[in-house]
Amino acid sequence: MRGAPATPTDVFLRGRAAAAQARAFAEADERALDGLVSVRPRSAVPRPQPVWDDAEVLVHEAVGERYRRLVLASDTIAATAQAGQFLMVTVPPNAGDTILLPRPMAIHRRRPAHGGAAGTVELIYGVVGRGTRALAAVPVGGTLQLTGPLGRGFEFPCGAGSALLIGRGVGICGVMGAAEDAAVAGIRTTMVLSGRSAAQLLGRIDSAELGVRVIEATDDDGSSDVATLGERLRGHFDSAAPDRTPPDVVMVCGAGVLARLAAELGAHWGVPVQASLEAHMACGLGYCHGCAAPVRTDPSVEGPLVCADGPVFDAAIPIV
Amino acid sequence: MVPVRDDTTIPVARATSADARAAIPDGRAVLAVARAAFPDARAAFFAAAPPHPAAPPHPGFLGADTVDLSVRIGSLTLHTPVMPASGCFGPELGALIPVAELGATVTKTVFGSARGGNPVHRLTEIPAGMVNSVGIPSHGPAGYLAALHPRYAALDAPTIISVGGHRVGEYAPVVAALGEHGAAYELNVSCPNLDRDGTDIGSDPAAIREVVAAVRLVTDKPIIVKLPVLVASIAACARAAEQAGADAVCVANSIPAMPLDAQTRRPVLGNVIGGLSGPSIKPIVLRLVWLASRAVQIPVIACGGVETVDDALDYFSVGASAVQVGTASFARPFAAVEIVRGLRQRCLDSGVGSIRELLESEAD
């Protein structure tokens, strides 16, 4: 085989093997989410009115091998976005390639305007397809059109004094807003940062800045395995030490299997669990009806939408 | 950095010199210059509305505004010939764009009975465009009137209610159930006919005639028939609609397509097939609009890949009286309003009072 050029069939088969693995993960997530999530009760805090804005790109840089970080100037969105909300990012044409649909992205960090500095939001994305390849070409100093803030975010229950946040991959961005709110509210927070390898974990610097205690879990040493992680978290929080009592709420984003683990931990500790979901969407506002959430309904009734009813849902182990 | 294919958008978002401003004669350029005064681009876009966005009360009344963009659809006068495509608009957009600048809004299709929609994935993007198979979730007419219509009615534009059915007899009862609500009805006949082995109702002139005649009996309001792309003769379909009493035809709809995953050769969409939309379908629909316009006297509303003022003018040049904007709105919610402003500005720049005169002046 050495030196033999890959034939188109070789390339196809290699791609298919990778796709089969991705599909196996997706199917595991789908099974894990079956019956798990429901629309959260109406919030006492009104959602901010979304806007669209032409945001200047202040930072656009690689983060590790897989991700890119965007810092975007938008006073309105930075001032109004709630933890766990997302933006629709319109991708400008790149080298003759036109991207039609905006891409949904979680708001990783919010920094409202202060002094003379513009308000900013920070996004992190993986370059995974045509849209994100075109997005990666946007230069610093250019602008990106954003629509948002969108969706139903994370909310701390009244009186919560501690929280466990679980994020995997770019899903870490989905829960980082909750860590920001927790820091402001004085809620003691532990965050699981899960990813393929330690070198690629997102959120370490943010967690340090926000005073979040970090538990790392990676595929390369097996610590991200759901059963292993679950055992470790039970051991961590079921301790007799005063700062190791179970959290008052669990918030999770990044994988259906982790949402299920969070729901199991929530049932074990008797605390509520909120899970943020991902979906393909076109509008982000609810009118295209593209992002049906995995909630079973009567076939004649449309189920909830990830964009408008989520992306954050309540997660609880179904009672059989 | 909005898409450069749109000549009405601003390649120089931070243009500040008077020269740069003069070079880009459209609403967004002006507002880009004035951006500093507004908290965000949406607010600036609202503020850049033309001084007299409201319609002249009847065609011929020009008032302070010397450009008349109005178009008549039967008894209904739209003050501008631009509206959203069904399924690509919702009352959620009311706060994001100045809806009053549109000629009308068009609702998602209302069916006779409630339906939940198709399994995920419901939409995808391929190099040829967007492919969707949402399955048109609907609450039925009663559910629509209770939950959705009040939100459309609160918007400052006439509501055109899209109506669907899977048998020729299903349309009229929905229109009757909608009663006096809505300014006009758009009959979405791009639906599989369950009585005819799933062929589109809209591909069968006899079925179109039957649907329109039945709806004509239950309403005096304007009837628009939204025709599908895959028909043997668009002229025959448009004529069938006209002869049965329709006030306009809308040409066309998304094109049936089947996207496969490049890696697995498996269908991407939960429903396997879906409708292709976006700029790549425009030349296909231009031909249909041209053929339909030559076949009927009633207005033809063009729908297919409209993103820019020039796309709209292309359709007007082959006989369309109005355009619908669909897929473009997802990336640029303001796309339809921008086209309205651009049409008005082109007329003002050319010193003409209508789109017809603008096209004639271009032809000179």
Q: What is the pLDDT of residues A253-275, one digit of tens each?
A: 999 999 999 999 999 999 999 99
State how far the Cα of B284 lies from the Cα of B252, in Å rounded to an integer. 10
Q: In this predicted structure, what is the pLDDT of residue B154? A: 97
Q: Looking at the complex, does the CB of residue B7 fall below 8 Å from at least one CB of chain A?
A: no
Q: Which of A91-95, A141-145, B136-140, B217-221 has the lowest mean pLDDT?
A: B136-140
Q: Å from A280 to nearest chain B CA?
A: 7
- When CB atoms are compared, the residue of B113, B120, B139 closest to A292 is B120
Q: What is the largest CA-CA distance in chain B?
A: 64
| Per-residue pLDDT at A43 exceeds 50 | yes
CATH 3.40.50.80 in chain A is located at 154-276
State residue A243's pLDDT score.
73
Single out the residue of A108, A103, A89 nearest to residue A147, CA to CA: A89
A94 vs B27, higher pLDDT: A94
> How high is the mean pLDDT of chain A?
93
Report whether B21 contacts B4 (CB < 8 A): no
Amino acid at A291: C
| Contact criterion met (CB < 8 Å) for A76 and B40 | yes
Of residues B20 and B132, more confidence is placed in: B132
Q: What is the spatial distance between Cα B126 and Cα B14, in angstroms, rounded to a whole number?
A: 32
- The tens digit of pLDDT for each residue in A107-137 reads 999 999 998 899 999 999 999 999 999 999 9
Which residue from A minimizes the CA distance to B118? A292
| A161-200 residues touching B, CB cutoff 8 A | none
- The answer to whether residue B207 scores a pLDDT higher than 70 is yes
Q: Among residues 90-149 of chain A, which lie with CB inside 8 Å of chain B?
A: 90-93, 97-102, 130-131, 138, 142-145, 147
pLDDT at B196 over 90: no
Radius of gyration for the alpha carbons in chain B, expressed in angstroms and rounded: 20
Could you give the residue ranges of the DSSP H alpha helices within chain A? 8-33, 75-80, 130-136, 171-185, 204-209, 226-237, 256-269, 306-309
- Closest residue of chain B to A87, computed from CA coordinates: B331
Which residues, including other chains, have CB under 8 Å from residue B175's CB and lie 6 or more apart? B163, B185, B215, B218, B219
In whole angstroms, give the CA distance from residue B115 to residue B135: 8
Contact, B81 vs B71, CB < 8 A?
yes
Percent of chain B that is helix, strand, coil (3-state, to 5): 40, 15, 45
Chain B residues 107-126 within an 8 A CB cutoff of chain A: 108, 113-117, 119-125
Q: d(Cα A150, Cα A319) in Å, to the nearest integer?
A: 31
Q: Which of B42, B124, B127 sits opposite A52 (nearest CB)?
A: B42
Calculate the dihedral angle through the C-alpha atoms of B273, B276, B281, B287, rounding to the nearest 10 degrees. 50
Looking at the complex, report in whole angstroms how far the Cα of residue A142 sits from the nearest Cα belonging to chain B.
Answer: 7
A319 or B16: which leads in pLDDT: A319
CB-based contact B255:B231 (threshold 8 Å): no
Mean pLDDT along residues B189-210: 83
State the pLDDT confidence band at B18, using cuts at 50, 70 and 90: very low
| CATH number for domain B63-363, candidates 3.30.497.10, 3.40.50.720, 3.40.50.10280, 3.20.20.70 | 3.20.20.70
Interface membership of B261 toward A (CB under 8 Å): yes
Sign of CA dihedral B311, B87, B329, B270: negative
Mean pLDDT of the A154-175 span: 96
Q: Judge whether B191 counts as a catalytic residue.
A: yes
What are the residue ranges of CATH 3.20.20.70 in chain B? 63-363
User: In this complex, do B127 and A15 lie within 8 Å of one another by their Cβ atoms?
Assistant: no
* B144 DSSP assignment: I
Chain B positions touching A281 (Cβ under 8 A) are 123
B2, B88, B92 ranked by CB distance to A286: nearest: B92
Report which of residues A100 and B30 the model is more confident about: A100
From B88, B191, B237, B347, active-site residue: B191
Residues of B in contact with A147 (CB under 8 A): 96, 333
Contact B39 A76 (CB under 8 A): yes
Section B285-298 average pLDDT: 98
Cross-chain residue pair B93–A75, CB shorter than 8 Å? no
Chain B residues close to A50, C-beta within 8 Å: 95-96
Contact B162, B108 (CB under 8 A): yes
Alpha helices in chain B (DSSP H): 18-23, 27-34, 41-47, 140-143, 149-153, 171-178, 205-218, 234-243, 282-295, 309-317, 328-331, 335-350, 355-363
Q: Which of A7-11, A189-193, A229-233, B268-272 has the lowest mean pLDDT?
A: A7-11
Of A18, A75, A302, the CB nearest to B137: A302
A154-276: what fold? Rossmann fold (3.40.50)
pTM, two decimals, is: 0.91
User: What's the mean pLDDT when you consider all of chain B?
Assistant: 87
Q: Strand B123-126 vs strand B76-78: parallel, antiparallel, or unpaired?
A: unpaired
CB–CB contact A131 B125 (8 Å): yes
| Cα–Cα–Cα angle for A209, A55, A171, rounded to 5 degrees | 45
Cα B37 to Cα A75, B23, B44, B47, distances in angstroms: 12, 22, 8, 10
Who among B119, B124, B134 is closest to A289 (CB)?
B134
The secondary structure of chain A in percent helix, strand, coil, rounded to multiples of 5, reads: 30, 30, 40
ipTM: 0.91
Instruction: Mutation target for A interface from B14, B125, B327: give the one with most A CBs within 10 A.
Output: B125
Most confident of A178-182, B7-11, B25-29: A178-182
Residue with tokens 């196996």: A24
Q: Do B330 and A101 touch (CB under 8 A)?
A: yes
Percent of chain A whose predicted confidence (pLDDT) is above 90: 79
Which chain B residues contact residue A283 at CB under 8 A?
A: 90, 92, 329-330
A147 min Cα distance to partner chain B (Å): 9
The whole-number pLDDT of residue B172 equals: 97
Distance, CA of A313 to CA of A251 (rounded, Å) = 10
Q: What's residue B3's pLDDT? A: 34
Q: Report pLDDT digits (tens) over B49-82.
A: 887 545 444 444 444 468 999 999 999 999 999 9
| Secondary structure of residue A297 in the 3-state scheme | coil
Q: CB distance A98–B5 less than 8 Å?
A: yes
Pairing between β-strand A37-38 and β-strand A312-315 as defined by DSSP bridges: antiparallel
Distance between CA atoms of B168 and A98, rounded to whole angstroms?
A: 39
Q: What is the pLDDT of residues B232-284, one digit of tens each?
A: 999 999 999 999 999 999 999 999 999 999 888 999 999 999 999 999 999 99
Rounded Cα–Cα distance for residues B1 and B13 (Å): 7
Distance CA A308, CA A40 (A): 12
Asked if residues B135 and A301 have their Cβ atoms less than 8 Å apart, the reply is no
Instruction: Kindly tell me if the per-residue pLDDT of A49 is higher than 90.
Output: yes
- pLDDT (tens digit per residue) in B118-128: 888 899 999 99
**Does position B181 have pLDDT exceeding 70, yes or no?**
yes
Instruction: Test A15 with B262 for CB contact under 8 angstroms.
Output: yes
Domain with CATH 2.40.30.10 in chain A: 51-150
Flag whether residue A19 sits within 8 Å of chain B, measured between CB atoms. yes
Question: Distance (Å) from the C-alpha of residue B58 to the closest C-alpha of chain A?
Answer: 32
Across the interface, do B120 and A280 touch by the CB < 8 Å criterion? yes
Cα atoms in the Cβ-side hemisphere of radius 13 Å centred on B208: 31
One-letter amino acid at B241 equals A
Cα–Cα dist B159/B178, whole Å: 12
- Torsions phi, psi for B345 (to 5 deg): -65, -40
Distance, CA of A154 to chain centre: 11
Place of tokens 């069939």: A9
Q: Touching check for B36 and chain A: CB below 8 Å?
A: no
Interface test with A, best of B12, B105, B122 (most A CBs within 10 A): B122
Contact residues for A188 (Cβ-Cβ < 8 A; gap 6+): A161, A162, A163, A182, A243
pLDDT digits (tens, 9 = 90+) for A81-101: 999 999 999 999 988 889 999
The answer to whether residues A119 and A78 touch, using CB atoms and an 8 Å cutoff, is yes
Greater model confidence, A183 or A2: A183
Give me the count of residues in chain A. 320
Q: Does B89 lie at the interface with A, CB-CB under 8 angstroms?
A: yes
- Across the interface, whether the CB atoms of B123 and A282 are under 8 A apart is answered yes
For the domain spanning A51-150, the CATH number is 2.40.30.10
Interface check A303 vs B, CB under 8 A? yes
Model pLDDT, residue B2: 32
* HSE, side-chain direction, 13 A CA sphere, residue A226: 16
For B63-76, letters b (16+ CB in 10 Å) and e give eebebbbbbbbbeb
